[in-house]
Amino acid sequence: MELIPVTLLTGFLGSGKTTVLNRLVQQLEMADALVLINEFGEVGLDHLLVAHSREDVVVEMSNGCLCCTIRKDLARTLKDVHRRFARGGRRRFNRVVIETTGLADPAPIVHTLATHRDLRDRYRLDGMVTTIDARNGEATLDAHVEAVKQAAMADRLLITKTDLVESDALGRLTGRLQTINPGAGRILVSHGDVSASRILDLGLFTTDGKIGDVRRWLNEERYRDDDHSHPHAHHAHQHEEAHDHEAGHSHGDDHEHETHANERAAHEDEDHHEHDVNLHDDEIRAFCFTIEDPVPDRVLTEWLDMLLSLMGPSMLRIKGILNVKGVDRPVVIHGVQHVFHPPVELNAWPDEDRRSRIVFITRAVGRETIEATFRLFSEVAAIRAEKLGSS
């Protein structure tokens, strides 16, 4: 059975999630989506055919997109929607978008999807999308560690309200976000306008459940060569990923072309600005750890188990492609904090590079710690093998 992709739409209070969601649900790509929102009275979506049902939880959009408020716990809601949104025994939706509260930590939702016995066989996390207010974004990142965490965990960053700020302020914010999360594509948004195609299908799997572009998903190049662990680091390629993703789609909206021009202007301006030293940003580390030789399965398992058990809350995102000793095909891993999704074996390597590459985004855990612990487990394994060989 193909797993249903789930997109998390998060962002701090006032960052424009509702406006973005209003634009998204009008688009063709969302016609087969079920949208779960958390506080119906505050969301106020514009395009509703049915304002409420007998249970005051179900609404339907004008384009056929479905919507359900989360008045029960998430697990129960996701179980119920299979029955609630079905006709003739057939499910009426093929993807789910969950809009979280402004203060929400995405990790518990990811944990629920990955570990709940009734959900893990039906759903899969496709991507996390975070909205950030261009006008108040820097102040929010300064004041709220939750906002920094939302940005650090995202697959896509939507920088909203760009029409309300000057290019220098926008350049500072985009540069800061590049340091916090170099692998996330940044999309500049005005009046909530963003193409659904740019925030959907961000995960390892395609819509039909097949393995997608692993190199795009891992995006390891964004973590190489530069020091992303320092809040003053600046990078000359911050918008490439967003443009590359968009290149495969054709959009006739003049506003999107204007947005691209704004992105380039902000990118050019970024080189001349640095954001202030900030404690929350100082804690974020983003890097790619490369292992030259095939890794024994026991070393890999014990090492990752140790990282998750001792530092799980600080492991915001982990994803990688691994060369496991004795396994012919590459193995892909993906974790969010202390939750790891089941490893996936690819049919073949995406290129000639056979090294293991693991991308880490952490809070207060540096590359040195990751490398030192891996060396320790590798040395212990070597000693263990030597003793077994001599006995």
Extents of the domains making up the chain: 4-270, 283-390
Residue 361 β-bridge partners: 286, 317
User: Phi first, then psi: what are they for 60, rounded to 5°?
Assistant: -135, 135
pLDDT at residue 387, as a whole number:
80
Q: How many residues does the chain have?
A: 391
Domain 4-270, CATH: 3.40.50.300
Which residue numbers in the chain have pLDDT < 70?
A: 1, 38-72, 205-212, 224-280, 282, 390-391
Amino acid at 229: S
CA 151/CA 177 separation, integer angstroms: 7
Position 261 scores a pLDDT of 38
The pLDDT score that the predictor gives to residue 263 is 45
Taking domain 283-390, whether its CATH number is 3.40.640.10 is answered by no
Give the model's pLDDT for residue 110.
85
At residue 54, the pLDDT reads 36
* pTM score above 0.85: no
Q: CA-to-CA distance for 204 and 137, rounded, in angstroms?
A: 29
Neighbours of 253 (CB within 10 A): 10
Q: Which two tokens stand for residue 332?
A: 């892909």
